[in-house]
Amino acid sequence: MAIPLSIQWINGQLIILNQQKLPHETEYITLNTIEDAFDAIITLKVRGAPAIGITAAFGLALAAQRHETETLEVFHHYVKKDAIYLGSSRPTAVNLVWALSRLQQSINSAKTVEDAKAQILAEAIRIHEEDEQACRNIGGYALDLLEGRTKVLTICNAGSIATAKYGTALAPFHLGKELGREFEVYACETRPVFQGARLTVWELQQAGVDVTLITDSMAAHTISAKGIEAIIVGADRIAANGDTANKIGTLNLAILAAAYNIPFYVAAPVSTFDLQIPNGKNIPIEERSAEEITYVAGQPIAPKNTKVFNPAFDVTPAHYITAIITEKGIIHPDYERNIQELLVAVK
Ligand code: MRU
């Protein structure tokens, strides 16, 4: 039993777990170029907000190593162009542009192109390492909040393979396992891409955590029939007022938590907050291809040319959220004030 990893930097090579192939095949692939990194992100070979940020960071650093110029100004120009390209791969998770801008800032004081190349790679490695520690901290805070509760529902995959390790929403289950605390996790399958069925169930099974799969439409019944005691989800972008974008279907669960009077927790590192955005209305929501809905496992399930609406994320208004769990501490309402306070304290 082991917690699976999705991103590894080994001897100067970026190796990722191909999440498209799970759960049938555990395939690791090497991303050699910036185009490889872009493709891996857009095709969901790697997904989950922190994991796409880390992959983009390594993609940018890899490309930077190959730029041939002696002039710092030209080098900065290349890096900026590359960052814009990678940043356009997926629009909702802010961790992507957060990581890319951290890398760009890391070379501001470089004196030579060689320096800048070393610094940009070092920053990508740092982002990767910091995320593992952040997720472990999130797990610790989440365990405190979940004290006395064992039956927990989640959606999508906000796990180890969506981050450097441990995950955000799944961190308390992995950390709980290490510390001898058992949970009964219920995973929504997460239509249309099935991150719950394919990824969360696989990941928790790998780690020896008890997990039960349900379809998304079974959530309300399961809460009452199985006595679910809390819901915990990840996040792709959290606005300044606490409104939270996460995988489509998250909002349904938040409304159910309120109806059944159980806590609804969001777990996310501080890199997922976007204080430039005042509220959820301004969060860009990715829309993906119609085929994700009209086909299941390669088979058509709807008439040809069916009109489809396929938003990949929804926004949960802050007032449904019981607490936001970060690596720096737990944020309770009033979110507008307390998010600001925590994030300013961090800087
Ligand atoms: O489309 P995906 O699979 O990238 O969506 C992922 C999610 O919505 C996760 O819950 C979120 O990114 C948090 S991952 C720790």
- Residue 229: C-alpha distances to residues 283, 286, 298 (Å): 30, 31, 36
Encoded amino acid at 123, one letter: E
pLDDT of residue 345: 83
Q: Is the pTM of this model over 0.95?
A: yes
Q: How far is the CA of 73 from the centre of ligand 1 (A)?
A: 36
Q: What share of the chain is helix, strand, coil (3-state, %, to 5)?
A: 45, 20, 35
List every span in the chain annotated with CATH 3.40.50.10470. 144-346
- Residue 173 to residue 145: CA distance in whole angstroms: 13
Taking the CB of residue 300, how many other CB atoms lie within 10 A of it? Answer: 11
144-346 maps to CATH 3.40.50.10470: yes
- Residue 213 to residue 90: CA distance in whole angstroms: 28
Coil vs helix vs strand at 212: strand
Closest ligand 1 atom to 163 CA: 15
Residues framing ligand 1 (Cβ under 6 A): 47-50, 93, 156, 158, 162-163, 167-168, 195, 234-236, 246-247, 312
How far is C-alpha 204 from the chain's CA centre? 16
According to CATH, the topology of domain 7-133 is: Four Helix Bundle (Hemerythrin (Met), subunit A) (1.20.120)
> 207-225: buried (b, 16+ CB within 10 Å) or exposed (e) per residue?
bebebeebebeebeebbee
Locate all alpha helices (DSSP H) within the chain, ordered by sequence.
34-42, 49-66, 72-87, 95-106, 113-145, 171-179, 201-207, 219-226, 250-260, 291-294, 335-346
48 labelled binding-site residue: yes
Give the up-direction half-sphere exposure of residue 53: CA atoms within 13 A in the CB hemisphere: 32
List every span in the chain annotated with CATH 1.20.120.420. 7-133
Q: How far is the CA of 76 from the centre of ligand 1 (A)?
A: 31
pLDDT of residue 347: 66
Is 236 catalytic? The answer is yes
pLDDT of residue 300: 97
pLDDT of residue 270: 97
**Catalytic residue selected from 82, 131, 236, 314:** 236
Q: Which regions of the chain are under pLDDT 70?
A: 347
Closest ligand 1 atom to 135 CA: 15
Q: Are 110 and 72 within 8 A, CB to CB? A: yes
